[in-house]
């Protein structure tokens, strides 16, 4: 476990799950993880500070290349940014948090 300390905001983190159902061979599963990690490493600025990204591999993930994964993560980052801008607390949530 990493501690970023009180003065430094946490960087975005990546979690990856690739099951045998997704790709039978360990070589294929590891390739998917390597590609995901590399895209996330190079494009970390896409995600807000303190954001945890969890990727669950689906069938056919082993066929995706760098550009395909980059496109998917950019799409997710846009959706995340849009959700963050429009995420005003609902009245019932304000009461629970108070």
- Locate the domains of the chain by residue range: 10-67
- Cα–Cα dist 78/84, whole Å: 10
CATH class of 10-67: alpha beta
Answer yes or no: pTM beyond 0.95: no
CB 48 within 8 A of CB 81: yes
Mean pLDDT of 18-23: 92
pLDDT, tens digit, 9 for 90 and up, residues 33-52: 999 999 999 998 888 888 88
Residues 6+ apart with CB under 8 A from 32: 16, 18, 22, 23, 57, 61, 62, 64
pLDDT, tens digit, 9 for 90 and up, residues 47-91: 888 888 899 999 999 999 999 999 999 998 888 888 876 554 555
Tokens of 58: 């689906």
């Amino acid at each position: 476990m990493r501690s970023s300390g009180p003065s430094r905001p946490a960087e975005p983190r990546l979690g990856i799950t690739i099951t045998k159902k997704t790709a039978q061979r360990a070589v294929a599963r590891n390739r998917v993880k390597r590609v995901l990690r590399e895209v996330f490493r190079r494009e970390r600025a896409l995600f807000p500070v303190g954001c945890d990204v969890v990727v669950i591999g689906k069938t056919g993930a082993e066929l995706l290349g760098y550009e395909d994964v980059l496109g998917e993560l950019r799409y997710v980052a846009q959706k995340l940014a849009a959700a963050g801008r429009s995420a005003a607390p609902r009245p019932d949530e304000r009461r629970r948090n108070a």
